[in-house]
Chain A
Amino acid sequence: EAGVAQSPRYKIIEKRQSVAFWCNPISGHATLYWYQQILGQGPKLLIQFQNNGVVDDSQLPKDRFSAERLKGVDSTLKIQPAKLEDSAVYLCASSLEQGGTLETQYFGPGTRLLVL
């Protein structure tokens, strides 16, 4: 079974530039998550989708971050404009369905963003 795919794996940009990340979840997984993991910390949830609807985006800095999940499969996360403090690993995860009895989240390899 293919895992969660993410691209690019690495990205270096200058502050105030824009960047976009792509995620393809495990086939059949209805729930998709984007996390931000700053070096030395645990992942922090940015946004959660159930199919193509947003379940929670309370921790998403909406003035600069946006995300969409068209057709309930792939998702993109965009930062515009980027700040230095956005340097982090952006992890995408998926799970079969929200609130199931065994809802392990499966994580992708992450996109490492460095903002200069």
Chain B
Amino acid sequence: ELKVEQNPLFLSMQEGKNYTIYCNYSTTSDRLYWYRQDPGKSLESLFVLLSNGAVKQEGRLMASLDTKARLSTLHITAAVHDLSATYFCAVDIGNQFYFGTGTSLTVIP
């Protein structure tokens, strides 16, 4: 059974701090996506990672992919309140997306 697990599920952090969200998946894939979802809103694409070792950065967020370890990370640098949201990773298996459980991030001023 395919599993896409994120941890932590809930994260509360202070502004200015750094933290990493982890996405583990149980089967081979070399495509992984990160999405952001604000409360009551739909999903917004953040990053597309298409190969082993891929690293993408946008503002205070940086995502990486290790296909051998079946692991992706989303690193947050110097968090700000605007980053509060739920973050999902999604693994592309056979052109189908399997979403992780989500990480609910709250940045405290």
Contacts and interface: CB of A to CB of B under 8 A. Distances in A.
B101 A56 contact: no
B41 interface: yes
A91 B50 contact: no
Interface residues of B, number: 22
A30 B92 CA distance: 17
Interface of B: 4, 31, 33, 35, 41-45, 48, 50, 88, 90, 92, 95-102
A42 B87 CA distance: 10
B95 A102 contact: no
A56 B43 contact: no
Given A99-B95, A102-B50, A108-B42, 13 more contacts: A42-B90, A42-B102, A48-B96, A91-B43, A93-B43, A98-B95, A103-B95, A105-B33, A105-B45, A105-B97, A107-B42, A107-B44, A109-B41
Contacts of B101: 41-42
Interface of A: 33, 40-45, 48, 55-56, 91, 93, 98-99, 101-110
A78 B97 CA distance: 22
A109 B43 CA distance: 8
B43 A101 contact: no
Contact of B45 (A45, A55, A106, A109): A106
B70 to A, nearest CB: 17
Which 10 A-B pairs have CB atoms at the shortest separation, nearest pair first?
A: A42-B99, A107-B43, A107-B42, A104-B45, A109-B42, A43-B99, A99-B95, A98-B95, A42-B88, A110-B42
A91 B95 contact: no
